[in-house]
Structure formats: C-alpha cells, structure tokens
Amino acid sequence: MKAAPVLVLCNHCTRPSCVRVCPTAATWKREKDGLVMMDMHRCIGCRYCIAACPYGARSFNWRDPRPYIKKDENGELPSNYPTRSKGVVEKCSFCEERVRFGRMPACVEAANRVPGGEGALTFGDLSKPDSEVRKILREKRTICRRISLGTGPNVYYIV
C-alpha cells in the first residue's frame, strides 16, 4: 500500500452540515457560485459548525491571529486580505477575495509556481461542462472524502 500527503481543505459541500447548525447565519452557501462562506462579524464562536463538519475543515481562533501575519514594507497588515480576530471560526474560503477578481486561490497559484507542480491543483467551475475541472473529472479517476455521508463534497482527488 502506498500513502501520500494530501490537502484536506473545506469541501464547499453541496449540502453543508456546518451551515445547517449555525445559529446566526454566519456561515452560508453562496447561491451564485456554491462557495461556503463565513461572515466573521456574525460569528459568535459557538463552534457548532466545527462539531458538525465531518471533515475537520474548521478551526477556532483561540488567540488573535493578527500579530502572526506578515506585515508589508510599511509595517501594515495586508489590505487585500480580510484579517480575522480572536473568538471566531476559520475555514478555507477558496480565497474568495481573489476569486472575485478572476484570480486563482492562493494554494493553486503557489502549487503551479513550484517547478514540477504545474497542474497539481486545479480550480474551476463545476457547473460548466466545458470547464477544465469538468474535463479532468471526465478523463481521470477521482475520489471525494467521505461521500457516503451525503454532504456532497466538491473537492476531488486524482488517484
């Protein structure tokens, strides 16, 4: 048997259990593109969503993360990235703040920059039959995590 490390990010599920349990609608599935979003201002830190996610895709900020974020040349926090506070839940957003400007999520961009990493990660629109991700799904053998749970994960792994 062979084993390899894999990314275990949020699956932006079609039927996300995290969304169902959130009492404040701080997390929701965005209609226009299916991303499972977070509103840090609405999050009360109850952590129900952490318990409900069967993928361990969420984490809680026990400390203020801002002192640990790399500052720019002026000693300021990056203005193009919405920094979080203590007491809220974090998760992968597929870098929504980049995607909205037509850019790739940071992990996809970084993987493709590494020599030999081209194509290691692909991001795209599953609703379009002619998209690159749909093409890969047609041509390669892929799996999703814990599909039997019925959450409808949308992250696929080529095996």
158 forms beta bridges with: 142
Select the residue interacting with ligand SF4 from 8, 44, 69, 143 (CB under 6 A).
Answer: 44
* Residue 35 binds to ligand SF4 (criterion: CB under 6 A): no
R_g (Cα) of the chain, nearest Å: 17
Select the residue interacting with ligand SF4 from 28, 33, 37, 45 (CB under 6 A).
Answer: 45
Report which of 149, 147, 156 is spatially closest to residue 52, judged by C-alpha positions: 149
Closest approach of ligand SF4 to the CB of residue 26, in Å: 4
Closest approach of ligand SF4 to the CB of residue 142, in Å: 17
Closest approach of ligand SF4 to the CB of residue 83, in Å: 17
Pairwise CA distance, residues 59 & 86, whole Å: 11
* Residue 48 binds to ligand SF4 (criterion: CB under 6 A): yes
10 forms beta bridges with: none
Closest approach of ligand SF4 to the CB of residue 93, in Å: 10
Report which of 118, 100, 23, 12 is spatially closest to residue 57, judged by C-alpha positions: 12
Select the residue interacting with ligand SF4 from 2, 8, 24, 80 (CB under 6 A).
Answer: 24
Q: Which residues bind ligand SF4 (CB under 6 A)?
A: 10-13, 16-18, 21-22, 24, 26-27, 36, 43-49, 53, 55, 57-58, 89, 91, 151
